[in-house]
Amino acid sequence: MTEERTVIAIDGPAGSGKSTVAKAVADRLGLEYLDTGAMYRSVAFAAMREGVDPEDTEVVANLSRGLALTVGPDGIVNVDGVDASIEIRGPEVTRAVSIVAANPGVRDEMRRRQREWVAKRNGGVMEGRDIGTVVFPDATLKVYLDASPEVRAARRSKEVTDLSYETVASDLARRDALDQGRTHDPLRAASDAVVIDTSDLTVAEIVDAILGQL
Ligand code: CDP
């Protein structure tokens, strides 16, 4: 008999609380956790390192197919043998990532890897932008986290202490527009997702609300 597979899809914009919540949900359920944003960030990092123009669709898609990439639950990211954990969160990668993520060839490759990751573990908690809509439309539970732009920018600027609130807020607004407006797999809530506005909720409250759906 095959054990029932549990896949929890957590989507939403930057600063909505996805990473913290997804990790806590994974811990509570004894599942592994995958940050798919780190995968798109790694492709952008690799392109910059190779001196490839992020807008060069064909070259970047090819590069993504050949990439040796591991994303650990502890935030440790290895790209072609290099520890890129810090650099993938830096301003250069953050500026380029939405262009790379709009590339359909890159998305095909990342989607393939994400499905393989779940198949190997027979389940998991995955966070991103298109997990419930595209990668796992048959997920056990789909969650869409959101929060007001001000709350999201305030949360993110606490993490990125070397940038001003204004810079962080305008980067978030720019990425929201690119991620929601792109042709391939745009950011949106799946029609059957549980939508949670996290603006006024603590992490524990959000986690309990999610676990209460199972
Ligand atoms: O952590 P933050 O919310 O800033 O972003 P992230 O989750 O690291 O994702 C970085 C970028 O990758 C997003 O702005 C999207 O452009 C892209 N992304 C995507 O297209 N699809 C995913 N499943 C995850 C991320």
What pLDDT was estimated at residue 17? 94
Query: What domains sit in the chain, N to C, each tagged with a CATH number?
Result: 6-211 (3.40.50.300)
pTM passes above 0.85? yes
d(CA 167, CA 163): 6
Q: Is 111 in the pocket of ligand 1 (CB under 6 A)?
A: no
Ligand 1 centre distance from Cα of residue 11 (Å): 10
What pLDDT was estimated at residue 98? 95
Q: Is 77 in the pocket of ligand 1 (CB under 6 A)?
A: no
Per-residue pLDDT tens digits of the chain, which is 214 residues long = 556 899 999 999 999 999 999 999 999 999 999 999 999 999 999 999 999 999 999 999 999 999 999 999 889 999 999 999 999 999 999 999 999 999 999 999 999 999 999 999 989 999 999 999 999 999 999 999 999 999 999 999 998 888 999 999 999 999 999 999 999 999 999 999 999 999 999 999 999 999 999 9
d(CA 60, CA 55): 8
* CA-atom Rg of the chain in angstroms: 16
Q: Is 133 in the pocket of ligand 1 (CB under 6 A)?
A: no
Closest CA to 102 of 176, 178, 190: 178
Ligand 1 pocket, mutate which of 11, 19, 34, 40 (most atoms under 8 A from CB): 40
What pLDDT was estimated at residue 162? 87
Q: Is 134 in the pocket of ligand 1 (CB under 6 A)?
A: no
Q: Is 98 in the pocket of ligand 1 (CB under 6 A)?
A: yes
Ligand 1 pocket, mutate which of 21, 34, 36, 198 (most atoms under 8 A from CB): 36
Q: What is the secondary structure of the chain as a DSSP string?
A: -PPPPEEEEEE--TTSSHHHHHHHHHHHHT--EEEHHHHHHHHHHHHHHTT--TT-HHHHHHHHHH--EEE-TTS-EEETTEE-TTGGGSHHHHHHHHHHHT-HHHHHHHHHHHHHHHHHHTEEEEEESSIIIII-TT-SEEEEEE--HHHHHHHHHHH-TTS-HHHHHHHHHHHHHHHHH-SSS-S---TTPEEEE-TT--HHHHHHHHHTT-
What pLDDT was estimated at residue 156? 94
Measured from the Cα of 156, ligand 1's closest atom is 4
